[in-house]
Amino acid sequence: MADLGSALRTVLDGPFASARDATREQLAATAVLTDPTLTLEEQRRQTREAVLALAKTGVPAAGFAEAHGGTGDIGASLVGFEMLVYADVSLMVKAGVQWGLFGGAVENLGTERHHATYLPRIIAGDLLGCFAMTETGHGSDVQSLETTATYDAATGELVIDSPTPTARKDYIGGAAHDATLAAVFAQLVTAGPGEEPQSRGVHCVLVPIRDEDGRDLPGVTTSDCGVKGGLNGVDNGRIVFDQVRVPRENLLDRYASVAEDGSYSSPIENPNRRFFTMLGTLIRGRVSIAGASGAAARQALAIAVRYALRRRQFGAPGAAEGDPTEVLLLDYRTHQRRLLPALARAYALQTAQNDLVATLARLQGGGTEPDPKEQRDLEALAAGIKAYASWQASATIQECREACGGAGYLAANRLTTLKADTDVFTTFEGDNTVLMQLVGKELLTGYADEVRGLDPVGMATFAVSNAAEVVLERTPVAPLVARLRDATRREGDEPDLLDRGTQLALLTDREEHLLDTLARRMQAARKASGPEAFAAFNRAQDHLVHLGRAHVERVVLESFVAAVGAVEDEEVRTMLDAVVDLFALSVVEEDKAWFLEHRRLSVGRAKNVTTSVNALCERLRPYAADLVDAFGIPENLLEVEVLA
């Protein structure tokens, strides 16, 4: 196999090879691993300094349009941020707050005057801000935030207030210490001439919270969330507003504005759609967390796989008398099963992440409003991949920690820090359980649109069991994937599990079936009302989450198949095909009961799934070192005690 390493790297880096290489160089030259012995204050100071240093690298600027003082390379910016995880997850998160969330809100929700006034200083790191959305009482349900921004036409000011204890802004990165300006999400209340004041829903207002000496401004009370389970380089805090006045111009008014006389106007009439449009522009945060999750999982795998290739324990049964050779951990089946399917997922997820970032860059980087349908699909996919990747990272890092035993528990070996720092990824930027339901609901909406669009005659001839297919087919799929899937789909009775078409068909059929049955269930539920309606919805919740997960796994497999299909070297491709097999079949194995219950797998084939996963682990064992080396994590960031 000619240059296996670089061929693998090409698959993993996808369209962002040069941006990744540039970040690798930076990290190799300057980055150091988080020091677990630092105090809270020292960690925060170090992370703040690293954020300021990062401002000078050009990575943050890449995330902003050229017209706004950036360099307009969203993809490069996102992969650059993602890779910071290899050194310090706090740095990645604090940078994400400053440039992704806070800067992103100003760029995407604001208009020219906000861009001109703030963006150059935000990009340069001269103005540090925070993203004050979550409140003590409301996190997942952003539409019910309680903070108010009431327009006072007499002074032309917006009055920001926390009317209840639960309206307090909470867990806000930067609010404890560093941020001087906050992008505050609040219920906008205003009255046009002759109107009663009314709430217009959640909007975003820029509110200064600290003076240059770090003192709270009048009416603002900040406090500190203190020590967290991880990410202690980020100064999370709380903010309470007591009738704080800011000029009307501080409303970020791309999607809604308040005239001097208090009249409210918006280019988007439907308040619900307006709200989701505003939120949708902030998609980059979720994409970032998905990427960061992938990076953390890869680093943990690199450490655990390398350890398993050095560490020996117990002599082999049947070894010749006096043979002192002990067995390498990675030669044990249990150890292979712990690490290699997770490694296959890491590969699959990185190809899906590359596709996600590329789509985001295409839609947001064009300077025009993206197609609403494409934007919505992208949002659902970002939500799903964020949830899937962060749960996967949590499970993978945990497994890697345990696979390194006591050595894995020493902070010097990075695994516990990685676990602690990324643990909150499963619940921030959208709680995973809520996000997976969002994915399911979005598919359901697409389904309904499709069916609703048919005339009565069409409806009659439209087999309900095929409706889901229509929805899925709309998802753009690489021609290779479509060909493979369609070739095998529903053909024979017992097609080969190692056949790519079979794998694609298994995951596609599962998603279709889940969508079809959920749609019927929901149709029935729609007839209920009151407590019955809640009960019907509630009973379908697991179904919804399952659908979300099935959808993500199907899409990830398709990305992976397409990426591997593009590999030219046949030997490399053959090896990578085994990695795809391992991903696909370990996904099927995890949900095997479903496939059996729904007669997608016979008992015999179901057993073969497990046999095949085992065989694939053995087949890939010799390539384990190459597979993790290809991640291209700078070696200085893998210099942990356990590998010394």
Report the site for its own copies in 215-244 (rule: CB under 8 A).
225-230
* Contact status: 412 vs its own copies (CB under 8 A): yes
Distance CA(400)–CA(311), nearest Å, equals 14
Distance CA(172)–CA(169), nearest Å, equals 7
CB contact burial 485-501 (16+ within 10 A = b; e otherwise): beebbeeeeebebbbbb
Tokens of 486: 């369609």
Instruction: Please say whether the beta carbons of 384 and 436 come within 8 A.
Output: yes
The residue among 200 and 338 lying less far from its own copies, judged by its C-beta, is: 338
How far apart are CB 423 and its own copies at their closest, in Å?
Answer: 7
Applying the rule CB under 8 A, the residues between 171 and 210 that interact with its own copies are: 171
Displacement of CA 429 from its chain's centroid (Å): 8
Instruction: Please say whether the beta carbons of 203 and 142 come within 8 A.
Output: no
Applying the rule CB under 8 A, the residues between 428 and 457 that interact with its own copies are: 428, 431-433, 437
For the chain, what is the largest distance between any 2 Cα atoms, rounded to a whole number of angstroms?
97
- 28-57 mask for its own copies (x: CB under 8 A)? --------xx-xx-----------------
In DSSP terms, 210 is beta-bridged to: 216
Tokens of 169: 């802004």
The residue among 59 and 145 lying less far from its own copies, judged by its C-beta, is: 145
Applying the rule CB under 8 A, the residues between 392 and 411 that interact with its own copies are: 394, 398, 401-402, 405-406, 408-411
The phi-psi region of residue 623 (left if phi > 0; otherwise alpha if psi is between -120 and 50; otherwise beta) is: alpha
The residue among 487 and 615 lying less far from its own copies, judged by its C-beta, is: 615
Q: Is 185 helix (H, G, I), strand (E, B) or coil?
A: strand
Q: What is each CA distance from 614 to 66, 277, 622, in whole angstroms?
A: 51, 46, 14
Q: Which amino acid belongs to residue 72? A: G
The residue among 314 and 373 lying less far from its own copies, judged by its C-beta, is: 314
Distance CA(441)–CA(546), nearest Å, equals 11
- 489-528 mask for its own copies (x: CB under 8 A)? ---------------------------------------x
Only one residue has tokens 């008014």, namely 253
The residue among 217 and 412 lying less far from its own copies, judged by its C-beta, is: 412
The residue among 72 and 139 lying less far from its own copies, judged by its C-beta, is: 139
- 581-620 mask for its own copies (x: CB under 8 A)? -----------xx--xx-x---x--xx------x------
The residue among 150 and 394 lying less far from its own copies, judged by its C-beta, is: 394
The residue among 238 and 298 lying less far from its own copies, judged by its C-beta, is: 238
Instruction: Please say whether the beta carbons of 281 and 375 come within 8 A.
Output: no
Distance CA(295)–CA(287), nearest Å, equals 12
- 275-314 mask for its own copies (x: CB under 8 A)? --------------------------------------xx
Kindly give, in sequence order, each residue whose CB lies less than 8 Å from that of residue 461, ignoring residues fewer than 6 positions away. Answer: none
How far apart are CB 234 and its own copies at their closest, in Å?
Answer: 11
* Contact status: 529 vs its own copies (CB under 8 A): yes
Q: Which amino acid belongs to residue 377? A: D
Applying the rule CB under 8 A, the residues between 545 and 574 that interact with its own copies are: 545
How far apart are CB 148 and its own copies at their closest, in Å?
Answer: 16
Q: Is 143 helix (H, G, I), strand (E, B) or coil?
A: helix
Backbone φ and ψ of 220, nearest 5°:
-105, 130
The residue among 337 and 521 lying less far from its own copies, judged by its C-beta, is: 337
Q: What angle do CA 306, 311, 317 make, to 5 degrees?
A: 130
Continuous segment of H or E residues that includes residue 456 = helix 456-461
* Contact status: 259 vs its own copies (CB under 8 A): no
* Contact status: 255 vs its own copies (CB under 8 A): no
Quick one: which of 302, 304, 357, 420 contacts its own copies (CB under 8 A)?
A: 420
* Contact status: 67 vs its own copies (CB under 8 A): no
Distance CA(202)–CA(221), nearest Å, equals 22
The residue among 300 and 572 lying less far from its own copies, judged by its C-beta, is: 300
How far apart are CB 65 and its own copies at their closest, in Å?
Answer: 31
Quick one: which of 532, 571, 635, 639 contacts its own copies (CB under 8 A)?
A: 532
How far apart are CB 493 and its own copies at their closest, in Å?
Answer: 17
The residue among 536 and 625 lying less far from its own copies, judged by its C-beta, is: 536
Distance CA(553)–CA(430), nearest Å, equals 19
Q: What angle do CA 307, 312, 313 make, to 5 degrees?
A: 125
Number of residues lying near its own copies (CB under 8 A):
81
| Other beta carbons within 10 Å of 54 | 23
Quick one: which of 355, 423, 469, 509 contacts its own copies (CB under 8 A)?
A: 423
Quick one: which of 113, 310, 483, 539 contacts its own copies (CB under 8 A)?
A: 539
Tokens of 32: 């150091």
- Window of 252-260, 317-325, 376-384, 559-567 that interacts with its own copies by CB under 8 A: 317-325
Backbone φ and ψ of 129, nearest 5°:
-130, 180
Between strands 264-265 and 312-315, the pairing is unpaired
How far apart are CB 153 and its own copies at their closest, in Å?
Answer: 28
- Window of 297-305, 456-464, 501-509, 540-548 that interacts with its own copies by CB under 8 A: 540-548
Q: What angle do CA 606, 400, 87 make, to 5 degrees?
A: 135
How far apart are CB 413 and its own copies at their closest, in Å?
Answer: 9
How far apart are CB 293 and its own copies at their closest, in Å?
Answer: 14
The residue among 4 and 439 lying less far from its own copies, judged by its C-beta, is: 439
How far apart are CB 328 and its own copies at their closest, in Å?
Answer: 12
Quick one: which of 29, 320, 457, 460 contacts its own copies (CB under 8 A)?
A: 320
Distance CA(463)–CA(460), nearest Å, equals 8
Q: Which of the 8 DSSP states describes residue 244?
A: E
Quick one: which of 193, 194, 318, 366 contacts its own copies (CB under 8 A)?
A: 318
- Window of 181-189, 267-275, 326-334, 342-350 that interacts with its own copies by CB under 8 A: 326-334
- 113-152 mask for its own copies (x: CB under 8 A)? ---------------------x---xxxx--x--------
Tokens of 615: 């065989």
Tokens of 411: 């902070």
* Contact status: 337 vs its own copies (CB under 8 A): yes
